A = this chain, B = another copy of it.
């Protein structure tokens, strides 16, 4: 299931607040994206078509919630990205992130803990 960047914005809102309607999504996004409510409804419609969202009637409207878990999607996307971009090797990716200051000290601490786990 392919989710485009614009659609991902919608998914992110719904992963944070499952079970809201289109206008609540619009409300949530209005500061970041200047999207017309129509645009949001189109994106939501496409996500429903793709099976990425489930619908639940609520009066004359629908409430939406993700049909896939955020973590599952992230994992698949991460693997695909690393494969395409780095031939499947993760270390160069992390090196680049470090180099472009993508890593905070907190990230580094997290990674250390993670590596400790992995070595076991």
**A residues apposed to B, CB below 8 Å:** 5, 8, 12, 71, 74-79, 81-82, 84-100, 102-104, 106-108, 110-112, 114-115, 118-119
B residues less than 8 Å from A79 (CB atoms): 96-97, 100, 102
Q: List 16 A-B contacts (CB under 8 A).
A: A75-B100, A78-B97, A78-B100, A79-B97, A79-B100, A82-B102, A90-B94, A90-B111, A91-B114, A93-B93, A94-B94, A95-B114, A98-B114, A108-B119, A111-B111, A112-B115
* Set of chain B residues within 8 Å of A74, measured between Cβ atoms: 85-86, 92-93, 96
The dominant DSSP class at the A interface is helix
> Nearest residue in B to A75 (C-beta to C-beta)?
B96
Q: Is A90 within 8 A of B102, CB to CB? A: yes
A82 to B8, CA, bound (A): 13
How near does chain B come to A13, taking the closest CB pair, in angstroms? 12
